Amino acid sequence: MKIKILPSLLAADFGRLESESKKAEVSGADELHLDIMDGHFVPNISFGADVVSMARKAVRIPLNVHLMLSRPDKYIDRFAKAGSDTILIHIESECDVTATLESIRQLGVRPGITMNPDTDPARLFPVLDKVGIILCMTVFPGYGGQKFIETVVPSMRAVRNKANEMNLADLDIMVDGGIDLNTCEVCAKNGVNCFVAGSSLYRAADMRNDISLMREKCERALII
């Protein structure tokens, strides 16, 4: 299964978002991760669909859009139009999750579901066959630069084992929060193949080098 590394634009210099997006692409990123926060579902506000449109013009790699919104169902149209390739919503959000995932698919975008660190992974099982990607948050969403929460590791394994049992061989499982060259390894060992990294990659002296090191480590550690 392919390892994918996704720099998170939240950790970029907001005065230069276009060149920071391009930096991820030329450094070998598989996709660009964009964090959308509404100040209600999470205690912070980031940026909106216009930044997704900017990134769409700036890079050719897929845009992986993480909606931290209480009512993602009200906004998927505009994030689809802005050029998202994947739209992730939270299982904890206040909408009909199954219907919203279906609407995302109907807009021609790959749907994904996200769980917070303290959410029971079994809550995701009913929608595993309705998404292309699962995101296990390894920090409580809202801010970059937080510490990786190790107790989420069994949830990653539970989701991958369930996907295996359901013959969902192509299901991507992603982690987000506190991911660096050390924490990525235990995730790969527990079935994770997609890695979002904000601070660790945008603060790296050489992003290209760190993306390639992270990819090698994860390829070696991966156990599906």
Q: Is 38 assigned a catalytic role?
A: no
- Does 174 sit near ligand DX5 (CB under 6 A)? no
Q: How many CA atoms lie within 13 A of 104 on its CB side?
A: 31
- The nearest distance, CB 18 to ligand DX5, in angstroms, is 18
Which helix (H) or strand (E) is 111 found in, with range? strand 110-115
Token representation of residue 189: 């060992």
Q: How many CA atoms lie within 13 A of 133 on its CB side?
A: 27
Quick one: which segment of 55-63, 137-145, 151-159, 210-218 binds ligand DX5 (CB under 6 A)? Answer: 137-145
- Does 176 sit near Zn ion (CB under 5 A)? yes
Q: Is 176 assigned a catalytic role?
A: yes
- CA 53 to CA 31: how far, in whole Å? 15
- Does 214 sit near ligand DX5 (CB under 6 A)? no
Pick out residues in 21-80 that bind Zn ion (CB under 5 A): 35, 66
DSSP assignment, residue 151? G
**In this structure, what are the phi and psi dihedrals at residue 104, rounded to the nearest 5 degrees?**
-60, -45
| Residue from the set 11, 113, 136, 184 that interacts with ligand DX5 by CB under 6 A | 11
Contacts with Zn ion by CB under 5 A: the residue count is 3
**Candidates 38, 73, 176, 210; catalytic one:** 176
215 with 26: CB under 8 angstroms? no
- Does 8 sit near ligand DX5 (CB under 6 A)? yes
Token representation of residue 192: 């994770």
- Does 142 sit near ligand DX5 (CB under 6 A)? yes
- Does 20 sit near ligand DX5 (CB under 6 A)? no
- The nearest distance, CB 152 to ligand DX5, in angstroms, is 13
Closest by Cα among 179, 168, 177 to 218: 179
216 beta partners:
none
> ∠11-185-131 over CA atoms, to 5°?
70
Task: Compare residues 111 and 198 and give the one whose CB is closer to ligand DX5.
Answer: 198
**Applying CB under 5 A, which residues contact Zn ion?**
35, 66, 176
**Applying CB under 6 A, which residues contact ligand DX5?**
8, 10-11, 33, 35, 66, 139, 141-146, 176-179, 196-200
**Any idea which residues carry the catalytic annotation?**
35, 176
